[in-house]
Amino acid sequence: MSSVITLDFEKWKAQQTAAGHPVVLDEFVFAYVPNLDPSQAISRDEKLPAANHIVHRQAVNKTGLASENAVAYSVTLGTEVGHFDFNWIGLINKASGVIGMITHAPTQKKIKTANGLQGNVLTRSFLLEFEGAAKETAITTTAETWQIDFTARLTGMDEMQRLINTDSYGEAAFFGDSFAVIRNGDQYTVKKGLAYVGGLRGVLEFDQTLNSLRNTRVYADFSYQGNLVSQWKTRVKITASNNLKNYVDAAGYPHYVFSIASIDDNGDVIDLRKQGTLSDRDIAVLQKELGRIKQDYATQQALSAGLNGKQTKGDYATNSALTVVRENANKRLPNTGGVLTNNGRILELKNTTQSSLYIQGSSHDDLAKWRIGNTGANSDFALHNVLDSTYVVIANKTITVNGVDIINEDDLLPIKNSIDNIEQSVRNVQNIAVTAKQQADNANSNANNRLSHTGGTLTNNGNVLELKNTKNSSLYIQGSDHSGKARWRMGSPGVSDVITLDNVAGNTYLYIGNEGDVKINNNPVITGVRLGEMIHTIALAGQVTLLSDGHVCVGISKSGSGFVSHIVNRPVQYLIAGQWKTAEVFNGQI
């Protein structure tokens, strides 16, 4: 390995000294030069390698005084730098591009920490000697061996602090309206402010704007970034995505993400932020529970007084009010679920304006999981898996899955799965009927915890709603508009085992019968296509041979004279209601 001081440096140094300016060398350049022999002497006229050979540049980290005529320059490449090979090192004045020293070395590898594998740390130092070096470079501090591999320890300290923060703030914590997503028409604003995500403390310095969001989520993305000698800080960015998880970027920095809002297909915002520290949330829950207990106690005392005859004999108004409370409670469905019993139609959804009309299933943290009904003011009837962004729409005498028309059994599978889930929900809801009856005995709890006829939310783990009719009666759910006109029905309209999904307003229905019998507006749905058994048709030489209707040619054979003797053909067949039928049977109707 050899080193030289360049002639360009000596000329430039003389100019700097004559002008009274210090001699400053402030950047290291690393390059990989093909076919470089480090054992050969270096020309003092050598220049910088070509740009495509330069692999890294980095500012001088440390300078030191070795003697009056010698100064040292050091650079440390931390574990966040790499990957690259190098065999050429230069020390330059960055402003002028003048090279002070050059070293040719055997090829060396610089590896950064990535994917759980620890990188290496390299320190390179140049000792520059010339008359009056200390004075001309204005370097006064003593040189020292200071470079150590401290990056792993600092990274460990940062990780410990991050984990400590999660003990106080959980996976995410927001304060006031920080990171709140506000809608204004088709424009969405994410409010600036302070937050913790994944234990990292970050600040969104300015409001950020997003446009035209539908069926997606908005994420806060926090990462802690810097290099060996820079100040590390949390980088914050806002991302719209259907499903974003914690990840490591190409530079090796871990990113921690949290969904701050969900945007539905109408563009409405559902706030998903978690307010305050973990202890703040515990206190809020406790205060809410104490308020509920106080209200329950006061109401129970009043009810008990009435039930035990403690009011005055002439207080007929109180007696009447208590009777109304008891009857009202006994006729309501607990918000934990239960059984609705009636002949024919037993549950109707009715909105107040010409708007959305649907049933929604939510998780314990109020995140929408599925919807069924009209999600807009139009007549489209939809089954929507919100979490997986999959939806089935019944409208205009057809059925689509995520906008694609159903033409085979696989396309009908999401609808079948939805029906299976609903049937399973109906069967499983019986498991909570006993609990619902016990809760109904308490008049106050029943009044507070039952579903209002104006609508609401049924909350429970698992299945919470069962439709039950009497013998030989219809069994279905119906959605009606504000005027009482039916918009859609789902269930069995008669006493048979047939299930229909009926878009009443759009005059379109899906019929699901026995053994694969599926129809749209009484038209059979094709669930499979195939070619039937092969048939050999004799071809007369020199004459046109016609195949039977619905048959296609799949091959030919020739006679010894070169004429076609046989045409091999197969019938086109469709699978309808579990039976294969040849196309000619339908007389062009399919």
Interval 89-131: pLDDT, tens: 999 999 999 999 999 999 999 998 887 777 888 888 888 888 8
CB-based contact 525:406 (threshold 8 Å): yes
Query: Which pTM does this prediction carry?
Result: 0.34
| Co-location of 472 and 344 in the same domain | yes
Last residue of a domain, one of 148, 178, 213: 148
430 pLDDT more than 80: no
Q: Is 140 exposed, middle or buried (0-12, 13-18, 19+ CB in 10 A)?
A: exposed
What residues have CB less than 8 Å from 422, skipping those under 6 apart?
Answer: none
| Co-location of 45 and 73 in the same domain | yes
Across all residues in the chain, what is the average pLDDT? 79
Question: For 216-243, what is the mean pLDDT?
Answer: 86
pLDDT at res. 589: 42
Question: For 217-239, what is the mean pLDDT?
Answer: 85
| Co-location of 488 and 428 in the same domain | yes
| Co-location of 418 and 499 in the same domain | yes
Dihedral (CA of 544, 545, 547, 552) sign: negative
Give the residue numbers spanning the domain of 555.
528-586
CB-based contact 222:255 (threshold 8 Å): yes
| Co-location of 375 and 436 in the same domain | yes
Of 7-16, 132-141, 396-405, highest mean pLDDT: 7-16
Helix or strand run (H / E) with residue 183? strand 181-184
371 pLDDT more than 70: yes
Question: For 32-45, what is the mean pLDDT?
Answer: 92
pLDDT, tens only, 50-66 = 999 999 999 998 888 77
| Co-location of 411 and 375 in the same domain | yes
| Co-location of 371 and 472 in the same domain | yes
**Would you say residue 321 lies in a domain?**
no
Question: For 324-339, what is the mean pLDDT?
Answer: 64
**Would you say residue 262 lies in a domain?**
yes
**Would you say residue 308 lies in a domain?**
no
**Would you say residue 449 lies in a domain?**
yes
pLDDT, tens only, 538-553 = 877 777 778 878 888 8
Last residue of a domain, one of 276, 302, 317: 276
**Would you say residue 311 lies in a domain?**
no
Residue 494 is classified by DSSP as S
**Would you say residue 314 lies in a domain?**
no
Do β-strands 193-197 and 172-174 pair in parallel, antiparallel, or remain unpaired?
antiparallel
Could you give the strand order of the β-sheet that contains 172-174, starting from the edge strand earlier in sequence? 172-174, 193-197, 200-204
| Co-location of 161 and 269 in the same domain | yes
| Co-location of 57 and 137 in the same domain | yes
Q: How many domains does the chain have?
A: 4
Last residue of a domain, one of 88, 122, 148: 148
pLDDT, tens only, 382-401 = 787 877 767 677 877 777 77
pLDDT, tens only, 171-221 = 999 999 999 999 999 999 999 999 999 999 999 999 999 998 999 999 999
| Co-location of 433 and 352 in the same domain | yes
Three-class SS state of 451 = strand
pLDDT, tens only, 433-472 = 455 556 556 655 656 666 666 666 767 766 657 777 777 7
| Co-location of 575 and 457 in the same domain | no
**Would you say residue 309 lies in a domain?**
no
| Co-location of 375 and 462 in the same domain | yes
